[in-house]
Chains A and B, each alone.
Chain A
Amino acid sequence: MVDSLATPKGQAGPAPSTNRIGLTLADYKGSPSTLCDGCGHDAITSQIIKAFYELGVDPYRVAKLSGIGCSSKTPAYFLNRAHGFNAVHGRMPSIATGVSAANKELLQIGISGDGDTASIGIGQFCHVVRRNVPLLYLVENNGVYGLTKGQFSATADIGSRLKSGVVNDLPAIDLCGLAIELGCSFVARSFAGDPKQLVSLLKAAISHNGTAVLDIISPCVTFNNHEGSTKSYKHAKETDIPLHEIGYIPFYEQITVDYQAGEVEEVTMHDGSHVLLKKLGNDYDPTDRVGALNTIRKAYEQQQFLTGLIYIDESKPNFNELMHLVDEPLASLKEDRLRPPKQVLDEIMKSLM
């Protein structure tokens, strides 16, 4: 919970510790949350704060975006020093695409919900992934529309039951499977109740060059945390099968952990950071796209809740790279770069005479 991170006010004590750019954890916080006590979304917010703090990301470099929903409110609850953009329902990806084209130096985190992404926003979700726009796309997945009081969303599992007894008889959309299918270069699934795994995945996603899709099961304590729900804390905890144990070493630190060959898979991120995936019995390779699709599909059929880094490809160029933009952000170009000289107009006019 956000509260657990708060620096106690008015208490004399040692100076708060700071990260590598001299900021305290408090500098990464947002306004107080207005969500229900115990909402999974708040647990995710805490890990976002933690990840950015621990990585020492300059908040001014960050743009935090969202759609509409309880989940989409959360950018107000972290990184107050970053510009925020609470868009319209399901359309955060198009905003992110435009922001990124205008200023490719920004680090974008987009928060969405399962309704915001898998229903109204599925088109924009597909296309932002297809373009590989640099964006940490985090879906706070609770299987319902929290903000409109608990209707089923399109990620609700078949057979799951609302409090009112209504049973969902439509198949769930698996956002991770869909993302891999669409060529997503970073796909992960986790659980709001597993802060350790979540924070490592967040750090890896922040280091990723392109769209990183994080599908995080985030229980709605008010509308979907009961017996019969497949998105409850209890159900997620009981069925969670981690693919591996995840460690993250930022680019500015040496790898010091010892491990035996074959025991850990190491992925080098675009920014030089490393993700260490310690195998847990099974031999899962997150760089094998077809294998990843198979695994996710099988898990879907068996209603298993697989978590971890499902797929990663650090070689794929992002959308801005494909557009061959000049080095400086387009937003900072001045008239001398943007308005061609008079000779150009003369030349065009001559061609039209």
Chain B
Amino acid sequence: MKTLAAESSQKQESDRIINDFSIQVATINGSGSQSSNNVLMRSIFQMGVPVSGKNLFPSNIAGLPTWFTIRASKEGYVARRRDSEILVAMNPQTAYEDVRSLKPGTVCISPVELKLDTIRQDVVHYQVPFTDLAAKATDQIKLRKLLTNMIYVGVVAQLLRIEEAEIDKAIRKQFEGKQKVIDLNLNAAAIGRNWARENLQKRDPYFIERLDKTKGKIIIDGNAAAAIGAMFAGASVVTWYPITPSSSLCETLIDYLKEYRVDKETGKATFAVIQAEDELAAIGMALGAGWAGARSMTSTSGPGISLMAEFAGYGYFTEIPTVIFDIQRVGPSTGMPTRTAQGDIIFAHLLSHGDTKHIVLFPATVEECYEMAMAAFDLAERFQTPVFVLSDLDLGMNNWMSDPFKYPLKPFDRGKVLTAEDLQKLGMFERYKDVDGDGICYRTLPGTKHPLAAYFTRGSGHNERSGYTERPEDYVHLMDRLNRKFNTARKHVPEPIVETAPNASIGIIACGSSHFAVQEGRDQLKAEAQLPVSYCRVRALPFTEHLRHFVEAHDHVYVVDQNRDGQLRDLIRLELPEHTMKIRSVRHYDGLPIDARFISEAILEQER
């Protein structure tokens, strides 16, 4: 029998496609394939090859199909791609459809008994007797299904030439501390690898070769990154109600807080985490805690944001700091809970009745999830208002490569809070008086021991002394002052990141997780259509002056949205009404993360 090594050396070097392809693994939800896919992804990462992983999963605990896509990219592109070059078709429910949709020439690794070679002759089939191999891996029937996952890892690794030592290292990391599990999985991977080495002839061009582009990098999902940010921001009251895709933010945060924010001697915590009875209560608790002076936060997704509407307006109107993470998923209603979207931009920004508007931050990378979590707490306390951080399922739950996060240099900004000593010196206190002219007033915390400290917080009309009022001039005065505060925020929120391309007459404006697809799409436009495109990545609401400058500097701009109605586009048009005609739209809303091709094709079409 010919060995794979001998075979592949006969292949022309120039035919090879190295470190630039995607692998899609189709499995059944709850079958334990997540760990295997992580191992595969990590091993590529450890080989120094930039990699990203996207999990496309159903709203279900077990039994429905799930797809995991690993993209290796020597250029460092990490956005989703529409096609994959390699399919691991482990799910009999979807195998036929999965295989039918492949591009000709795609590699398909599948259980031999599915006989997938009978339905497509134009793909490269590697058919593997997984059932027999699993029987070799263990005699415990229960474990066979699980270990089958690690067997395909061995097969794929052998075909792609991922080094054995890196697979083993990734397995050890994945199952850290569980030696028995490690041994079982090491063995399963070896069984797959050995079988492939002895039985498969390499008939495809895909290889992973060692690079040095991941040294010192981390892999993390956006929710975990935000959780780390929240911990270092000093979040002390955390309230939540479970919901996909937000839950893992608080769950990870709880793990970190228990590890790093509990006094080792006394066992006492510098934080309170409260699993509320619903999101209405979650935001109520967060506002109560913010009012009383804690750094408070809550995390949720669309349906929870809907429930929070009344309190969000209360927080805006009475000026109470808190941080609300919205990990967006597909709406309306229950929508598609495990699919991604940027559908809450306008709703979150204007959440509540009346003239309510909120500061919103748009992290685009895991590093920004970390940094903006910290910025959000500072902004909330500086501006005494709820601050929304809009992430999404793609950013929040998928794995991304990143530089390690930097320790914050700036101390906390606790905003304008008067102590008893301050009050003594001042001799007076009016809660809602704009003393400094920036729209931001001074507050006191309950418990402040001074006869001047107390004030009455009410969601009804209030004057500068926080007294009840229905006087028209008092109301106008208050609303105008809130607007002044909002305008002050323009100078404090994260600025857009602008990349001006030489000779570009058009530009892209985007926010959040569209970022990586935009970057890659610009490269495509430049390389394939000789079309240079500038880029303005908006990072917050309210908008800053940079946005106007960017639009004015280009003939027209394309606003990329991951929602049907072009919500970011609409907000930009409202901001720059005189430029409405220059503002075009690219909208992606099928529940999958936006990809670069979609953007470059949509722009080319409109450029014609």
Give me the interface of A with B, judged by CB distance under 8 Å: 31, 58-61, 63, 75-76, 80-88, 91, 93-103, 105-106, 123-124, 126-127, 320, 323-327, 329-333, 335, 337-340, 342, 344-346, 348-349, 352-353
- Contact across chains for A333 and B236 when beta carbons are under 8 A apart: yes
Query: In the complex, which residues of chain B have a beta carbon less than 8 angstroms from the beta carbon of A84?
Result: 454-458
- Contact across chains for B408 and A124 when beta carbons are under 8 A apart: no
Query: In the complex, which residues of chain B have a beta carbon less than 8 angstroms from the beta carbon of A59?
Result: 454
Tell yes or no: B548 within 8 A of A by CB: no
Query: In the complex, which residues of chain B have a beta carbon less than 8 angstroms from the beta carbon of A82?
Result: 446, 454
Query: In the complex, which residues of chain A have a beta carbon less than 8 angstroms from the beta carbon of B450?
Result: 60
Query: In the complex, which residues of chain A have a beta carbon less than 8 angstroms from the beta carbon of B261?
Result: 338, 340
Query: In the complex, which residues of chain A have a beta carbon less than 8 angstroms from the beta carbon of B448?
Result: 60
Query: In the complex, which residues of chain A have a beta carbon less than 8 angstroms from the beta carbon of B280?
Result: 91, 94, 124
Shortest Cβ distance from B214 into A: residue: A353
Which segment of B31-39, B116-124, B266-274, B329-337 sits at the interface?
Answer: B266-274
Q: Tell me the total A-B contact number using a CB cutoff of 8 A.
A: 217
- Contact across chains for A323 and B269 when beta carbons are under 8 A apart: yes
- Which of B218, B272, B449 gathers the greatest number of chain A CB atoms within 10 Å? B272
Tell yes or no: B544 within 8 A of A by CB: no
- Contact across chains for A86 and B458 when beta carbons are under 8 A apart: yes
What distance in Å separates the Cβ of A87 from its nearest Cβ neighbour in chain B? 7
With A102-B296, A127-B281 as contacts: A331 and B445 at CB distance below 8 Å? yes
- Contact across chains for B268 and A327 when beta carbons are under 8 A apart: yes
With A99-B446, A344-B260, A348-B228 as contacts: A94 and B284 at CB distance below 8 Å? yes
Q: Which 10 A-B pairs have the closest CB atoms?
A: A98-B288, A94-B284, A338-B234, A331-B293, A102-B294, A83-B446, A98-B285, A102-B292, A98-B289, A352-B218
What distance in Å separates the Cβ of A119 from its nearest Cβ neighbour in chain B? 14
Tell yes or no: B412 within 8 A of A by CB: yes
- Contact across chains for A103 and B446 when beta carbons are under 8 A apart: yes
With A83-B455, A85-B457 as contacts: A98 and B269 at CB distance below 8 Å? no
Q: How far is the CA of A35 from the CA of B468 in the complex (A)?
A: 14
Shortest Cβ distance from B263 into A: residue: A326
Query: In the complex, which residues of chain B have a beta carbon less than 8 angstroms from the beta carbon of A332?
Result: 293
Q: How far is the CA of A197 from the CA of B556 in the complex (A)?
A: 75
Can you identify 20 A-B contacts, CB atoms within 8 angstroms? A63-B292, A83-B454, A84-B458, A91-B280, A93-B281, A95-B285, A95-B288, A97-B285, A99-B289, A101-B272, A102-B272, A102-B291, A126-B277, A323-B273, A323-B274, A324-B269, A339-B232, A339-B233, A339-B408, A340-B260
Interface size on B, residues (CB 8 A): 74
Contact of B218 among A81, A333, A349 (CB under 8 A): A349
- Contact across chains for A96 and B288 when beta carbons are under 8 A apart: yes
Tell yes or no: B239 within 8 A of A by CB: yes
- Contact across chains for B285 and A86 when beta carbons are under 8 A apart: no
Shortest Cβ distance from A337 into B: residue: B270
What distance in Å separates the Cβ of A103 from its nearest Cβ neighbour in chain B? 5
With A86-B457, A345-B232 as contacts: A101 and B260 at CB distance below 8 Å? no
Contact of B274 among A80, A101, A106, A124 (CB under 8 A): A101
Tell yes or no: B447 within 8 A of A by CB: yes
Tell yes or no: B153 within 8 A of A by CB: no
Tell yes or no: B314 within 8 A of A by CB: yes
Query: In the complex, which residues of chain B have a beta carbon less than 8 angstroms from the beta carbon of A60?
Result: 447-450, 453-454
Query: In the complex, which residues of chain A have a beta carbon less than 8 angstroms from the beta carbon of B233?
Result: 339
What distance in Å separates the Cβ of A114 from its nearest Cβ neighbour in chain B? 20
Tell yes or no: B404 within 8 A of A by CB: yes
With A91-B311, A106-B292, A324-B269 as contacts: A101 and B218 at CB distance below 8 Å? no
Q: How far is the CA of A344 from the CA of B232 in the complex (A)?
A: 10
What distance in Å separates the Cβ of A291 from its nearest Cβ neighbour in chain B? 29
Q: How far is the CA of A244 from the CA of B510 in the complex (A)?
A: 70
- Contact across chains for A98 and B468 when beta carbons are under 8 A apart: no
Contact of A330 among B260, B272, B314, B446 (CB under 8 A): B272
With A94-B284, A94-B285 as contacts: A326 and B269 at CB distance below 8 Å? yes
- Contact across chains for B232 and A98 when beta carbons are under 8 A apart: no
- Contact across chains for A83 and B269 when beta carbons are under 8 A apart: no
- Contact across chains for B447 and A103 when beta carbons are under 8 A apart: yes
Query: In the complex, which residues of chain A have a beta carbon less than 8 angstroms from the beta carbon of B260?
Result: 340, 344
Query: In the complex, which residues of chain B have a beta carbon less than 8 angstroms from the beta carbon of A95?
Result: 284-285, 287-288, 291
Query: In the complex, which residues of chain B have a beta carbon less than 8 angstroms from the beta carbon of A124?
Result: 277, 280-281, 284
With A98-B239, A349-B405, A353-B218 as contacts: A335 and B277 at CB distance below 8 Å? no
Q: How far is the CA of A87 from the CA of B457 in the complex (A)?
A: 8
Tell yes or no: B502 within 8 A of A by CB: no
Q: How far is the CA of A338 from the CA of B294 in the complex (A)?
A: 11
Contact of A345 among B236, B237, B271, B407 (CB under 8 A): B407
Q: How far is the CA of A346 from the CA of B407 in the complex (A)?
A: 8
Shortest Cβ distance from A103 into B: residue: B292
With A98-B285, A330-B270, A345-B232 as contacts: A338 and B295 at CB distance below 8 Å? yes
Query: In the complex, which residues of chain B have a beta carbon less than 8 angstroms from the beta carbon of A325?
Result: 268-270, 272
- Contact across chains for A94 and B281 when beta carbons are under 8 A apart: yes
Chain B 404-446 interface residues, beta-carbon cutoff 8 Å to A: 404-405, 407-408, 411-412, 444-446
Q: How far is the CA of A237 from the CA of B90 in the complex (A)?
A: 76
Shortest Cβ distance from B458 into A: residue: A86
- Contact across chains for B266 and A326 when beta carbons are under 8 A apart: yes
Query: In the complex, which residues of chain A have a beta carbon less than 8 angstroms from the beta carbon of B289?
Result: 98-99, 101-102, 330-331
Seed contacts A95-B287, A103-B445, A103-B447; 17 additional CB < 8 Å A-B pairs: A58-B449, A60-B449, A63-B446, A81-B451, A95-B285, A100-B288, A101-B285, A101-B289, A101-B294, A102-B237, A103-B292, A124-B280, A324-B269, A330-B271, A345-B405, A345-B407, A348-B228
